[in-house]
Amino acid sequence: MFAMLYVIVDTNWLLLAFSALMFDLPRYTFSLLSWSLVGIFRNSRPGDRRVEAAVSVIIPTFNGGSGLAPTIASLRQQTLSPLEIIIVDDGSTDDTRAVANRARQDGLVDMVICHGTRCGRSAAINAAARFASGDLLFTIDADTVLERDAIARLAHAFNDPRVAGACGNIAIRNESASLWTGLQSVEYMMSISAGKSILDVVGAIACLSGACSMYRRDVFARQGGLDVGPGEDLEFSLRLRRLGYRVRFVPDAWAETDGPVAAVGLLRQRARWDRDALRIRSMMYGELSFFHPLERLPDTLQRLDFIVFDLIPTMSLPFYSMYIVILWTGSRHPLYLRNIFSFALDFAFQYGAGVRSIQQISQFFQPWSCIYIPILPWNLHEMRQLIFLFLGNPLRHLAV
């Protein structure tokens, strides 16, 4: 906290930390508190966990042969066994087709569809949906594995006839692969585990994560399936909302997926996500205006969440970066770099400590200890212990 207090005593430092103080600090603090309350409320409610619907699983994949076997294994260990598993090889150039055909010969999957050329993820899912016979369609990426009861928990959400789509909770499986995957692990906890939990309470889920989503097959078919183009998961989720259906987030239906290991891959992924979201929300659904007179409150909340916490910070990033450069070149303060780094680490620890245990945090940062230990605020160790004591470790270990 000392680093934060030092920041706010000077106008330049306040401007430097504007994005964190204005957007990240309130959003993530509110999300974490809300997540804790939502978890207590959900755990205290008795409920009927019976599921009678049949589930068809669709695995679209392009060059995903290396991750296909673990995905199939996790599906075969589900407490609610899938009615059928359909793999769509979308024009892969690796051994995906061979792995899929071998799984079919071994009786692990029921159907393999092969595209001669790459048609896209949405086209692959639409092709498989035509052959599916289950009441529910479950889509999963080829680099994703599930906790044993994930499908059952997702299917339970459809006991409400108003629900047409639901998605599960996602964690980063390869979080120790690099610094970037470790940061993604923190981000996923904040934006998905905590963020979507509170959005689900107010009915403001805007996007069903493509890596782990479920839909009613009859609704999916009536709407013509996914839009053939990028950002299909967001577009279909918004389409369902416009039609009056509910879309849900199921926080205890856990999946793990691999995140980009290198900075370049991460930047490309996020640039693609932001570009698709902006195109779909602005050009297809006209959601960038602040006021829609006839709009329902949950739709307004999900729209403002995107504008305030995603669009505005993203659009202001170039100008914010320019300000940092100007402040750096014009600053004569000898402790400039030290205090920026100290503030960043202080903030990251205080709002990321709930992601992993103290042992995992120490192990993750151990190679850099000779750099960061001399400049950390003196109260950081106590702060980490207090935060972890109250938040605990929300990530659950998978059985597969």
Structure confidence by residue, pLDDT tens digits, 90-146: 999 999 999 999 999 999 999 999 999 999 999 999 999 999 999 999 999 999 999
CA 64 centroid distance within chain: 20
Which two tokens mark 325?
Answer: 């450069």
Residue at 275: amino acid letter? R
Note the pLDDT of residue 332.
52
Note the pLDDT of residue 12.
53
Which comes out higher in pLDDT, residue 151 or 295? 151
Note the pLDDT of residue 319.
73
**What does the mean pLDDT of the chain come to?**
76
Decide if domain 55-284 falls under CATH 3.90.550.10: yes
pLDDT at 363 exceeding the cut of 50: no
56, β-bridge pairs: 84, 137
The lowest-confidence range among 25-29, 63-67, 225-229, 342-346 is 342-346
Q: CA torsion angle for 346, 273, 243, 146 (degrees, to 10)?
A: -70
Which comes out higher in pLDDT, residue 88 or 191? 88
Q: Which of 30, 32, 90 is nearest to 64 (CA)?
A: 90
pLDDT at 282 exceeding the cut of 70: yes
Domain ranges of the chain: 2-37+332-391, 55-284
Residue 18's pLDDT band, with cuts at 50, 70 and 90, is: low
H or E segment at 251? Answer: strand 246-257
> Who's near 293: CB < 8 A, 6+ residues apart?
none
Note the pLDDT of residue 94.
92
**By the 8 A CB rule, do 285 and 238 touch?**
yes
The tens digit of pLDDT for each residue in 170-190 reads 999 998 888 888 888 888 887
Q: Which of 215, 285, 225 is nearest to 245 (CA)?
A: 215
Note the pLDDT of residue 86.
98
Note the pLDDT of residue 57.
98
The CA-CA-CA angle for residues 254, 256, 261, to 5°, reads 155
Note the pLDDT of residue 204.
85
The tens digit of pLDDT for each residue in 285-322 reads 777 776 676 677 777 777 777 777 777 777 776 776 67
Instruction: Specify the residue for token string 């998961």.
Output: 233
Note the pLDDT of residue 304.
76
Note the pLDDT of residue 293.
67
- The contacts found for 274-279 with CB under 8 angstroms, 24 or more apart, are 274/310, 274/314, 275/230, 276/230, 276/231, 276/234, 277/231, 277/234, 277/306, 277/310, 278/311, 279/230, 279/231
pLDDT at 161 exceeding the cut of 90: yes
Note the pLDDT of residue 384.
37
Note the pLDDT of residue 374.
39
Q: What is the mean pLDDT of residues 54-59?
A: 97
Note the pLDDT of residue 124.
95
Q: Which of 356, 369, 391 is nearest to 176 (CA)?
A: 356
The CA-CA-CA angle for residues 249, 251, 254, to 5°, reads 110
pTM, to two decimals = 0.73
pLDDT at 3 exceeding the cut of 70: no
